[in-house]
Amino acid sequence: MNIPDVKQSWPNPINEVTIGATKEEGGTRSNTITIGGTGTLPFLSFEGRSPHHPVIAMEVWDFAPADWPEELEKYFSDVWDDPGKWAKKCVDEFNADLICLRLQGCDPDGENKSSDEAGEAVKRVLESVTVPLIIWGCGNKEKDNEILPVCSQTAAGEKCLLGTITEDNYKTLVALCKADKHKLIAESPVDINIAKQVNILAADIGLAPEDIVIYPSTGSLGYGIEYVYSIMERGRIAGLSGDKMWAMPLLADIGKEVWKVKEAVVAEEEVPGWGNHVQRGPLWEAITALVYLQAGSDIIIMRHPKAVEELKKYIHSLTNKN
Amino acid sequence: MKENKVKVTFLSQNETILVEKGITLLEASIRAGVYVNSICGGDGICGKCKLIIKEGDVTARPTTLLKRDEIKEGYVLACQTEVTGDVVIEVPPESRAKGKILIDKDAQRFRALYAPMKGQVFFKYDPLIQKIYLEVSPPSLQDNVSDHVHLYRSIKRKKNIPILQSGLKVIRSLPYILRDSDWKITVTLGVRGGTIEAIQVEEGNTTDQNFAVAVDVGTSTVVVHLVNLNTFETMDAEATYNSQMSYGDEVTRRIIYAELKGEEKLREAIVDDINNLITTLISRNNIRLSDVMAVVCAGNTAMIHFLLELDPSNLRREPFIPVCTYPPPIRASEVGIKINPRGLLYSLPSIASWIGADVTAGILATGLYQADELTMLIDIGTNGEIVIGNKDWMVCCSASAGPAFEGSGVKSGMRAAEGAIEKFRISEDGKIQYTTIGEADPIGICGSGLIDIMAEMFKAGIVDRSGKLDPDSNDRVRNVNGELEFVLVPSSQTAIKDDIVIAQADIESLIRAKAAIFAGINVLIRILSIEFSDIKRIYLAGGFGNYLDKENAITLGLIPDIERDKVQFVGNTSILGAKMALLSKDALDIAYKISKNITYYDLITYADYMNEFMSAKFLPHTDVGKFPTIMRKLKRKF
């Protein structure tokens, strides 16, 4: 008996997005990173071509975070007063493919750092490492519209990935990216329609769809992960099927979500039976990330070095035969 | 074939068409799009469709409805006259549309609605209420039956009525009225289900005073038309917002109110509205209240429940059971409606808890129930109702849109009444042009104006595809206490003290409303496994006044992007259907059939409705492939 061939072919590959620019390309990076380009669902290499494997960005802040648990603190407290050193440690010691600089210090409800300080942080990271850079605002849309223009100019020509644009706030950032040649993260609140709508809005004012990475929000394992998973999977299938406004690479922001849930941080003494949190925390992050890889994520943003290491092994095992 | 075609020319309209020999002039005028009065719809009994033959050959059936000198002048009845050769026609003034603008347009629409459909006929004129004058021969020793039998016998001599009934009050009054009037009386007959009731007996001949009203009981708007049952004319119309609004904008909240505080308050509110409108209409037209003999109502199921003070609480609870969908005719006074105390209240039949008599009326008025081709009716009100079907089957659903398109809950919104902006344009160079109903100074914006404004702002880039106002796009966009708004007309040019504006929140309400309706359409299409292109005609109904720009409705994504000539705006079909039932018992009977034969699809049972809704909350739609012509037009600008 013959086993039927269930291979599926898709008409529309996902866009390729290249982050970072080398000297020849007008930037200062030692390498660039290209994501996307896949013509099939994740890791189904027998069905279609996936020219680029998923990459991991490690998260760096523009000030020493007060709310990171001890399990992260022990790796980063020696460097986290300087985003440059912090980034360098991530690249040199923990093999981060990219750095994600989150400008959390600019949040008006927190440190309320100025746009000049934000620009300074970007400059520090660019000087300290040569990998491509993600620059992520503080999440307050008025403030982001103040700080990101400065950051964008500081990094002009570096082809950074900037974020985020939303349905309510996209015009400033789109203009910046067109001027300074960056790429954009389009954020939506776990909604398959809004994810697409943000892309259409940005495209309407002239952003090339090839400059967009979709961030459909992220939930930690145990906190709605299946909901996000299904949105990502449906969106990816739509993109592969020909929907140009879903044919973008996907991003998952793992560390931020995982390291605030009690399953990842609470010590064993408090919850006997959950096991040692020193192992549990990174494992929670790695497994959450793994699920997002299977959902189709092309960039994963993470925090814990051990989790990064685990995930890298996993990606390697799936993308390299033999 | 060619020899059988003849030319019909309408002089005053400067219209000439080729038609087959043997069709009536009425049919020819409909095909030519020339409006000719006709109420009986071609039965040769109303005498309204007079035309003058200027030249040419016709064959006219004899009629008693033309005067001798009219016949000499070449007058004929359009419906009784067949074309036998080329003819030149003049439409005399009395056969042209007359009366108030609103009503004329309605009448024209009524005709326009019917013209494109093959084999479509008007209903036979047979109103639910009829007055007959009787000269009864007095009784004698040889003819000594009771007054009651005497009356019935006289009625039956004049009209073939198998089952006649009457109330005790009428019987009690008989000996006096019959004798005081010297046996000359007027009997008012009313349809009550399968029987006819002698509702009232009056002295002398009062047959020339026979009036009734048709009512559209909307969630947000109540419309009353006053109809002369002798001339079949709509004499006047008036509308107001439903004062039940103070118990909740939408139906569910009003039901909850009724559950907590009793149904009576809600009945009183709507009955007061109807009474006020009737009083306005009769005093304006010098008619006595006692000569208004009937009310015919159409409205959604909950509104009919409120009007009849039926317990509405199960309408909102699974499995959503109405108390009554086929209310029998009752005395209008039983619910407090003030017309003749013996006058009757008819409610058109509803379909289900969330799809009411207004939809039955719409199907009746548009003739969807006898269409050969697949036809869609979209009735835009506080609920958007969608019907798809033809003469073989019909499916419907209802989507909760909110009252935005009725001008309610929108900052400068208003009903379609004098002074409402109903048409709005932004030209290429950014100039604003608008027209108001009655060409009065603007007071606010009605539904059709809101559709225009939204679409025009979108095309001009003042709002983006998610409906966000762009503060840098236009000088007229301003920030008031943190909210953006677009100034349409500055206060100096309005009839009110305020600027007429559209605010960000208004835009969001309108986008939600259009998304709810389009999602309903899309779900129904998907359930039926058909494509938009399978729909051969779309009737777009709603209380929009006289005008609705279908191109702009498509630009917004309110209705599907299909060939424009397939889309027809038909106005308020709820009241139109109610009037048809009032004027023809046949139409009422068909309304019952429609409500029994249609299949209701409840959107609550469709899990993906919410997703469809979110997808439609974008201009024109998240799935841009659904609106190819709009996308092509927008592309040109970038």
Contact B364, B380 (CB under 8 A): no
Residue B115 confidence (pLDDT) above 50: no
Domain A21-32+40-319, architecture per CATH: Alpha-Beta Barrel (3.20)
User: What is the percent of chain B with per-residue pLDDT over 90, rounded to a whole number?
Assistant: 60
pLDDT of residue B35: 64
Judgement on whether residues B480 and B566 belong to the same structural domain of the protein = no
Judgement on whether residues B235 and B281 belong to the same structural domain of the protein = yes
pLDDT of residue B99: 29
Mutate to test the interface with B, among A192, A193, A194, A204 (most CBs of B within 10 A): A193
pLDDT of residue B248: 82
- Whether B221 maps to a domain, the answer reads yes
Across the interface, do A204 and B464 touch by the CB < 8 Å criterion?
A: yes
Domain stops at, among B501, B526, B559: B501
Provide the chain B residues 608-637 that lie in CB contact (below 8 A) with chain A.
611, 614-615, 617-618, 622, 624
Across the interface, do A197 and B464 touch by the CB < 8 Å criterion?
A: no
- Whether B553 maps to a domain, the answer reads yes
Across the interface, do B466 and A201 touch by the CB < 8 Å criterion?
A: yes
- Name the pLDDT band for B61 (thresholds 50, 70, 90): confident
pLDDT of residue B105: 43
pLDDT tens across B533-582, in order? 999 999 999 888 778 899 999 999 999 999 999 998 888 889 989 998 99
Out of A167, A192, A245, name the one closest to residue B466 (CB): A167
Q: How far apart are CA B169 and CA B400, in angstroms?
A: 46
In total, how many domains does chain B have? Answer: 5
Least confident of A61-65, A74-78, B86-90, B196-200: B86-90
B316: which 2 tokens? 């909102």
Half-sphere exposure of A280 (CA within 13 A, CB side): 17
Q: Does B473 touch chain A (CB under 8 A)?
A: no
User: What is the percent of chain B with per-residue pLDDT over 70, rounded to a whole number?
Assistant: 92
Q: For chain A, what is the largest distance between any 2 Cα atoms, rounded to a whole number of angstroms?
A: 70
Residue partners of A159: CB distance under 8 A and separation at least 6: A18, A19, A20, A21, A25, A27, A32, A132, A181, A182, A183
- Tokens 């969630």 appear where? B219
Q: Which residues of chain A have pLDDT under 70?
A: 321-322
pLDDT of residue B591: 96
Q: Which helix (H) or strand (E) holds B467?
A: none
Strand partners, B355: B352
> Which residues of A fall within a CB distance of 8 Å from B468?
167-168
Region for residue B613 given its phi and psi (left: phi exceeds 0; alpha: psi -120 to 50; beta: otherwise): alpha
Judgement on whether residues B451 and B315 belong to the same structural domain of the protein = no
Domain stops at, among B483, B501, B519: B501
- Whether B637 maps to a domain, the answer reads no
pLDDT of residue B121: 41
User: Environment class of residue B538 by beta-carbon count within 10 Å: exposed (0-12), middle (13-18) or buried (19+)?
Assistant: buried
> Which residues of B fall within a CB distance of 8 Å from A201?
464-466
- Name the pLDDT band for B37 (thresholds 50, 70, 90): low
- Whether B167 maps to a domain, the answer reads yes
Judgement on whether residues B194 and B153 belong to the same structural domain of the protein = yes
Across the interface, do A196 and B465 touch by the CB < 8 Å criterion?
A: no
Q: Does B160 touch chain A (CB under 8 A)?
A: no
pLDDT of residue B542: 87
- Name the pLDDT band for B40 (thresholds 50, 70, 90): low
Judgement on whether residues B527 and B392 belong to the same structural domain of the protein = yes
- Name the pLDDT band for B63 (thresholds 50, 70, 90): confident
Burial A196-226 (b: 16+ CB within 10 A, else e): bbbbbbbbbeebebebbbbbbbbbbbeeebe
Q: How far apart are CA A198 and CA A296, in angstroms?
A: 19
Q: Which residues of A touch B (CB under 8 A)?
A: 167-168, 171, 191-194, 196-197, 200-201, 204, 206, 245
- Measure in Å the smallest separation between the Cα of A285 and chain B Cα atoms: 30
ipTM of the complex: 0.79
- Name the pLDDT band for B98 (thresholds 50, 70, 90): very low
Judgement on whether residues B277 and B331 belong to the same structural domain of the protein = yes
pLDDT tens across B341-381, in order? 999 999 999 999 999 999 999 999 988 999 999 999 999 98
Judgement on whether residues B8 and B40 belong to the same structural domain of the protein = yes
> Which residues of B fall within a CB distance of 8 Å from A204?
464-465, 638
Q: What is the mean pLDDT of chain B?
A: 88
* Residue in chain A lying closest to B621 (CA): A197
Residue B16 confidence (pLDDT) above 70: yes
CATH number at residue B190: 3.10.20.880
Residue B112 confidence (pLDDT) above 50: no
CATH number at residue B272: 3.30.420.480
Residue partners of A247: CB distance under 8 A and separation at least 6: A12, A13, A14, A15, A209, A239, A240
- Measure in Å the smallest separation between the Cα of A226 and chain B Cα atoms: 17
pLDDT of residue B43: 65
Across the interface, do B618 and A197 touch by the CB < 8 Å criterion?
A: yes
Judgement on whether residues B198 and B230 belong to the same structural domain of the protein = no
- Whether B282 maps to a domain, the answer reads yes
- Measure in Å the smallest separation between the Cα of A218 and chain B Cα atoms: 20
Residue B505 confidence (pLDDT) above 60: yes
Across the interface, do A196 and B464 touch by the CB < 8 Å criterion?
A: no
CATH number at residue B78: 3.10.20.30
Judgement on whether residues B421 and B312 belong to the same structural domain of the protein = no
pLDDT of residue B126: 86
pLDDT of residue B138: 92
Residue partners of B612: CB distance under 8 A and separation at least 6: B519, B522, B523
- Measure in Å the smallest separation between the Cα of B105 and chain A Cα atoms: 40
- Name the pLDDT band for B96 (thresholds 50, 70, 90): low
Could you give the 3-state DSSP secondary structure of residue A34?
strand
pLDDT tens across B380-435, in order? 988 899 999 999 999 999 998 888 888 888 889 888 888 899 999 999 888 999 99
Contact B371, B552 (CB under 8 A): no
Out of B464, B611, B617, name the one closest to residue A201 (CB): B464
Per-domain boundaries in chain A = 21-32+40-319
User: Environment class of residue B552 by beta-carbon count within 10 Å: exposed (0-12), middle (13-18) or buried (19+)?
Assistant: buried
Domain stops at, among B446, B477, B501: B501
Q: What is the pLDDT averaged over residues B247-274? A: 90
* C-alpha separations of B243 from A2, B220, B274 in Å: 72, 8, 10
- Measure in Å the smallest separation between the Cα of B47 and chain A Cα atoms: 59
Contact B555, B425 (CB under 8 A): no
Q: Does B283 touch chain A (CB under 8 A)?
A: no
Q: Which helix (H) or strand (E) holds A188?
A: none
Q: How far apart are CA A170 and CA B618, in angstroms?
A: 16
Q: What is the pLDDT averaged over residues B273-283? A: 93
Domain that holds residue B440: 411-501
